């Protein structure tokens, strides 16, 4: 099992902690933001999964590529792809995008 944590600037005064745990083919992504704590869709995790480390305030932003490597072949990767497809579809169905967000959140919390 491997684990990496990042401190990420969010809307609160203190940064949020985003933790990724890779265990075999499973990837868990946790965040201390209010949405993340309740297992909901969280933009902080998605940003890092997308390979973007701009909001990271800890000194390990150079480790973001490791997370994108861990993502490959996981159920989180599949759920993220489904979310991106729903997002690109735009206004076709808000319920489709909402369902994709929920599925992605569930995948990151298992």
Domain housing 38: 2-108
* pLDDT band at residue 11 under the 50/70/90 scheme: confident
| 105 contacts 41 by C-beta, under 8 angstroms | yes
pLDDT per position as a tens digit, 45-85: 999 999 999 999 999 999 999 999 999 999 999 999 988 88
CA distance 60 to 107: 25
pLDDT for res 90: 66
| 106 contacts 42 by C-beta, under 8 angstroms | no
CA distance 18 to 100: 21
Beta-carbon count within 10 A of 55 CB: 18
What's the domain count of the chain?
A: 1
Question: Which phi and psi (to 5°) does residue 15 adopt?
Answer: -70, 155
CA distance 41 to 31: 10
CA distance 46 to 49: 5
CA distance 15 to 8: 5
């Amino acid at each position: 099992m491997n684990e990496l944590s990042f401190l990420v600037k969010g809307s609160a005064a203190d940064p949020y902690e985003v933790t990724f745990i890779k265990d075999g083919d499973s990837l868990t992504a946790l965040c201390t933001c209010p949405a993340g704590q309740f297992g909901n869709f969280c933009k902080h995790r998605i940003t890092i999964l997308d390979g973007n480390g701009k909001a990271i305030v800890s000194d390990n932003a150079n480790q973001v590529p490791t997370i994108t490597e861990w993502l490959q072949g996981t159920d989180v990767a599949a759920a993220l792809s489904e979310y991106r497809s729903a997002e690109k579809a735009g206004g076709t169905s808000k319920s489709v995008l909402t369902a994709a967000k929920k599925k992605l959140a569930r995948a990151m919390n298992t």
